[in-house]
Amino acid sequence: MQIIDRNSPVPLYYQLKTILLDKIRDGQWQVGDLLPSENQLQDDYDISRTTVRQTLSELVTEGYLVRKRGLGTFIAEPKVTYDPSKQFELNEYTKSQGITLHWEFKDAQEVKADDLVAASLDIREGTSVLQIRRLRLADNRVIGYHLAYVPPTIQKFIDESYYKEGQSLDYLKNCPALSDSHIQRTLEASIVERLDMDWLDAAPNTPILKMERIVYASDNTPVEFLVARFRGDRFKYQITL
């Protein structure tokens, strides 16, 4: 068994975290396995309860562990990871990880553009736009949802058959403006909102990753504005430079 080195400059909690992660990555602990209790970890590594709790809290937040009330702490299913620098579409990329992505279509309806949507699509606030709401699932787990907004000039190109399949922009594949388009993405940590709790089955302290995307035609006219929110314990956006 690996031991804690008290002479090391590395904090004790981080040493324990490394030890536990090694057990997960090496396959000593499998998805669904019950983790030893806090008391057991405290005794095994001769460290304080505070150190153990700090370590476990970080691993829960990062999605490696999941707590089940009254049952204990378990090894969580791995996160879905996407690295756009690999030049693969998300569906293809996740298949290489043994994960199949699909959509659950909620609805598509006309709404009035609020200030954020209007600014993103370069239209007047209150203009009627099409809002498309979809859940993103990895195998049978909900990992996020998409709220897409399409301006009036683009709606005639929509292919509704792609609401439930393909990549996130496939429903606009017939739009000529996409042939030479470019995309701006913004990522930020976010707090849990009501819709997150309902659609993502997210508890109050679940970390949320928010992504905003604007698709521009070659003349810089916005084609689509997307707000996507993902469960931080199930999805990881990775960038390799």
CATH number at residue 195: 3.40.1410.10
Please give the helix or strand (H or E) that residue 212 lies within, else none: strand 208-216
Amino acid (one-letter) located at 78:
P
Is the model more confident about 163 or about 141?
Answer: 163
d(CA 85, CA 231): 21
Instruction: Classify residue 3: in a domain, yes or no.
Output: no
* Secondary element (H or E) of residue 106: strand 101-112
What confidence tier does 93 reach under pLDDT thresholds 50, 70, 90?
very low
Q: How many domains does the chain have?
A: 2
Examine the pLDDT at 226 and tell me if it is beyond 50.
Answer: yes
Same domain, 25 and 122: no
Residue 69 lies in domain = 12-75
Answer whether residue 241 shows pLDDT above 70: no
* Same structural domain, 189 and 94: yes
- Contact between 145 and 229 under an 8 Å Cβ cutoff? The reply is yes
Whether the pLDDT of residue 179 is over 60: the answer is yes
Within this chain, do residues 166 and 194 fall inside the same structural domain, yes or no?
yes
Task: Confirm whether 6 is domain-assigned.
Answer: no
**Domain for residue 4, yes or no?**
no
Q: Does 37 lie in the same domain as 155?
A: no
Residue 151 predicted with pLDDT over 50: yes
Position 109 scores a pLDDT of 97
What is the pTM (predicted TM-score) of this model?
A: 0.70
What pLDDT band is residue 66 in, cutting at 50, 70 and 90?
confident
Tell me what pLDDT residue 27 has.
Answer: 87
For residues 158 and 107, membership in a common domain is answered with yes
Please say which residue of 58, 75, 92 terminates a domain.
75
